[in-house]
Each structure stands twice: as structure tokens, then as C-alpha cells.
Structure 1
Amino acid sequence: MVFSHPVVFVLSTFLFISGLGGGALGLADPEPFDPTKVVQLSWKPRAFLYKVFLSEEECEHMIVLARDKLEKSMVADNDSGKSVMSEVRTSSGMFLEKHQDEIVGRIERRIAAWTFLPEENGEAMQILHYENGEKYEPHYDYFHDKNNQALGGHRIATVLMYLSNVIKGGETIFPNSQAKLSQEKDDSWSDCAKNGFAVKPEKGDALLFFSLHLDATTDPGSLHGSCPVIEGEKWSATKWIHVRSFGKPNKRSLGGECVDENELCSKWAALGECSKNPVYMLGSKDSRGFCRKSCNVC
């Protein structure tokens, strides 16, 4: 079933009920999108697929930005919230900067226009690369630890953009989705994909799903994973969106004193963001970092 304005209505209603909709976009010139390309996949969890959300050029541009900067992917420890290596997730990846360039900024605006969630609530996009056999076991995007919940609250929604086609495997799977009972699959699907409702990665498509219920409680039905790549390779870009502003800096100080410019800097530093996100935390040759004091660089 294809939805146009009803999708916008449903998302707007959700934002109104949860108190997140007031001035959601905050954009003078939001990136246009075509709601007729949005397909409802599941209601439990709430999941939607936007066909050809990204152009061929946008997909290739993000791959080029990431290709020589990939590192082993990490997962958040359920108790401490710190990033740790795990065989649960065997891909490689990297984070872009918010509004890193004109193309990245355009995509971020388009995401905000589609989801009705403000750009400031989103994390920087993560680019992921899966080679043969690499996967991400089923997991939740909402948090189990209080440290990560302090950084903008739970992740309310995820936009997963497919940057490449995969010959076989690499499907996104929702093991707990009620829709799995009605989805027919032939031999073109991997065995992993047959264990739940699954979405095949198709270059340019974007998958939006919500990790919280309409009453803002966590949704166990949002359990999801990336099936192992069997043939080919998989590139994707993930945008996590929180219930509150994520990483929005306080007003920049005018002097040269050593200060943190966001009240969450010390918590971010404790979670290892000084090394994981150095451009924002420490700064670069073009801009001063927002958390220099907590990262002990001044």
C-alpha cells in the first residue's frame, strides 16, 4: 500500500501526541520530498520505505567521503554505554560531520522534511560498509544505559539509506515484526531474512522506522539487524534521531579561555567522543572544538 498525505498525517499526529512537533523543522527552505514514494511496511514496528530517496550521485558521493576513513564498527555496552568491539557487529564504518558539505546538508534537510523531526535532534550520519559474511546481529537503537540517554534522550527514529545494491544477502531484518507472518519470500532471499520481516537493500532507497511507541515508551518490536552479505558488498548510511537536541552547542564564547561550550561535554568525553568525534570535540584547523576543556587540549 502506498501512502501520500496519510503518511504525513500519521507522522504529524505522532509528533503532536508526543509533544515533539512544535516548530519541528525549523527550516526556512526545507528540502522537498515526494510522499507518494513512501510505502508503509509495518505498523508494529512503525516502518516506512521511501523509494529512490537518494540519487545515484548522492550515494556515490557519500561512499567516496567514507571509503578511506573506515574503522572497525563498535557497539554500545548495555551497562556503561561505552563503545566496545563485538562479534555482534562485524562491519566497518565512519561518521560524517553534520552539514559536511552541500550534498550532505541537502540530505539532512530532506530527512528532517520527511520525518518531521528537527535536524538538531539528529546524530551525524554514519557510513557503514559490509563485506562478504559481515553482519549486525539484531539489536535495538534505543538505549539501555543512562549515560547515552543523557545525550539527547532515546533514539526515537532511524533513517537507514542504502548506498549500493547487494547481489545476495545484506537484508535489514525485523525478527519481532508482525508483518513477517504475511511476507512471502522466494530463493532470492537469504536464510537469515526468512527469520523475520525483511527489506532488501536497493541503491537509493531509505528505510524509516521508529524505536519508540506513540506514548514514547520503547518498542521491542523495533528489534532489527543486518543479515550477512553473501555475494557482493553493502554500503549504507544511518541517521539516528533523538527525542531532544543532540549535540547542539551553547553560544560560542568570545574569549580564548579554556571552556566547554556544551553542558554535556564531560559526559561525551567519558564516553570516548574526544577520539571518536574529534572535529566537534577538539576542533580542526578551520574551527575550534566545543569540548576542549573536557578533552584536556587546552
Structure 2
Amino acid sequence: MTTTSTAITPELRAWIVAQAEAGFPPEDVLAAMRSSGWPEDTAIEAMETTLTEHLQAKGKPIPGRALPEPPMDEAATTLVVGGHEVKVLMSMTLPRVVVFGGLLTDAECDELIELSRPRLVRSETVINETGGSEVNTARTSDGMFFNRAEYPLCQRIEQRIAELVRWPEVNGEGLQVLRYRPGAEYKPHHDYFDPIHPGTPTILSRGGQRVGTLVMYLNTPTRGGATTFPDVGLEVAPVKGNAVFFSYHAPHVATKTLHGGAPVLEGEKWVATKWLREREFI
């Protein structure tokens, strides 16, 4: 195998699986990739995602894969985080989805909207070829990003989320606030970054793969605007203060985390999104 490209191709994935099935240890496979010109970070990511997908396709467990997860071992209906009570309204295993009630107070929702309003611009999506971003017709909202802990409110919410899903604060991207006007939507998509795209290594260099998403509803639109999961026929109503959390153990469609924002039919929809990375986000 010889290459100078960093694109994780189907041929590379097949080669990695073949080496694993032949019994070669991971460190030998990694060394072979490095000697063929692959950057170490890209080689590690290629091995991890390829072998994860391979194990899942065979119905085998994925060893050592930590994910954000609420403390629901005893089927709790109420969780207390930082003195704040959060209701568990719904839970699914595949996809891993949990709907929370009252994650944010009405006052927190209103303040977050007002802090974000002056900085709203047309939302963008990732450019797979470069790792940059651009305006896309699939996403017709306005949005902005806060830096992590930019305001006391942001820090309080981030601490609450970290405790709720048991994931380090530093592994989270800054909060993103989005406004959907009547007719605006976000067509179904995945939040993970597909390793097959050439721009993915650039994105992953800031904190590794995304492994979880939390969408918080900052208001209740008059009609429409549900968060949809087409693979499983699930729709989560956008109710002020509530939130939907979902995680994905691999960048693969088998996680069934395809989701979208249905068109707003009347009124506006405001949401705040928190994406969680596998390592510290920089």
C-alpha cells in the first residue's frame, strides 16, 4: 500500500479490515500506514472508524468506546444536575436518544436569545472537500456561535450539560444559537464528520470526532419545527426549555442518527445546539 493522499478511501478501509482479519496487531497496521505517507492523526482516525463500522456490521461490541450518557442506570425519570431538576420525558436505545424536560428555565432561554440576536447571520454547513463552511440551501436558518464560557449564562449551561451527560466541558464546542423563520428548515443530515471526505482530517484536528448532540429549544413555535429522526419515524416537538440529546458511537449510518429540523409552519423557532467531541475542543 503506497499513498500520499489523506483521503480515507473505500480501498483503504478494505485494506484495514483485511489486516485486522489476518491477525496483524493495530500498532503494526498503524506503522505501515505511517511509512506509506499517512499522517498519524489521519491513520488513527481511519483505523478507529473503519474497525468500529466493521464490528458493528457483524453485530459485535465495540471495545473501549466511551460516549456521553446521562446517569439513567436505574431508569430515572428525574435527574438533578447542579441543583437544577431535569425531567426524562423519553428514551430510546437505537438511535440513542433522550428527551429532557426543563433543561433550561424560561429566563435562561430568553437571555440566550437576546445575547445571540445581534450576531445572527445566515447559517452555513461544512464543506466536505476542505473542512470549511458555506451557505447551503439545505439549511435555511440564521445562526451564531458563542465561545465556550463566553458569558456566565453560557458557562452555567455548559456545566449543566457536562454533568447531565457525564462528558468533560472542554470536549464541547461553543453553544450555537439558531433562529428558524416561517418556512425555514434543516434537511435531514448527520452531525458526525464522514472520514471519507478529504476535508475531515482538518475538522478532526480541533478535537476529534463528534460523538453527541444536544438540541435545546429556546421557544415554542406556533406550528411545525419538530426535530425529526427519519430512520426511526421519531419526531420531537420543540417545547421551550426542553431538549433532545443523541449520541453516535461511530461516524456511520448504522447509528440511525439521521435527523433534521422540520419546516416552521407558523411563528419562529429558536434553538441552542451543543456538539460534543471525543477530545478537548480547541
TM-score, normalising length from structure 1? 0.65
Deviation at 1:206, TM superposition (A): 1.1
What secondary structure, in the 3-state scheme, does the structure 1 residue paired with 2:216 have?
strand
Q: Cα–Cα, structure 1 residues 99 and 176, in superposed 2: closer, same or farther, change >3 Å?
A: same
**Structure 2: runs of 5+ lacking an equivalent:** 1-60, 69-80, 195-199
Deviation at 1:96, TM superposition (A): 1.2
Count how many residue pairs are aligned between Structure 1 and Structure 2.
204
Tell me if structure 1 keeps the 8 A contact 2:85–2:102.
Answer: no
- Aligned residue number for residue 31 of structure 1: 82
Cα deviation per residue 1:32-67 (whole Å; 9 max; x = unaligned)? 4446x1133322110001101100100000000011
- Aligned residue number for residue 55 of structure 1: 105
- Aligned residue number for residue 202 of structure 1: 239
- Aligned residue number for residue 82 of structure 1: 132
- Aligned residue number for residue 218 of structure 1: 252
Q: 2:201 aligns with which of 146, 151, 161?
A: 146
Q: Cα–Cα, structure 1 residues 106 and 58, in superposed 2: closer, same or farther, change >3 Å?
A: same
**Equivalent position amino acid for 2:215 in 1:** L
- Aligned residue number for residue 282 of structure 1: none
Q: 2:143 aligns with which of 93, 98, 107?
A: 93
Tell me if structure 1 keeps the 8 A contact 2:193–2:251.
Answer: no
What secondary structure, in the 3-state scheme, does the structure 2 residue paired with 1:94 have?
strand
Deviation at 1:232, TM superposition (A): 0.5
**Structure 1: runs of 5+ lacking an equivalent:** 1-13, 22-29, 181-196, 248-298
Q: Cα–Cα, structure 1 residues 121 and 219, in superposed 2: closer, same or farther, change >3 Å?
A: farther
Give me the whole-angstrom Cα distance separating, in 1, the residues matched to 2:151 and 2:251: 35
Is 1:167 the equivalent of 2:222? Answer: yes
Give me the whole-angstrom Cα distance separating, in 1, the residues matched to 2:211 and 2:253: 10
**Equivalent position amino acid for 2:241 in 1:** G
* Amino-acid identity (%): 39
RMSD of aligned Cα (Å): 2.1
Cα deviation per residue 1:4-33 (whole Å; 9 max; x = unaligned)? xxxxxxxxxx9x942468xxxxxxxx7344
Q: Cα–Cα, structure 1 residues 20 and 43, in superposed 2: closer, same or farther, change >3 Å?
A: closer
Tell me if structure 2 keeps the 8 A contact 1:32–1:110.
Answer: no
- Aligned residue number for residue 236 of structure 1: 271
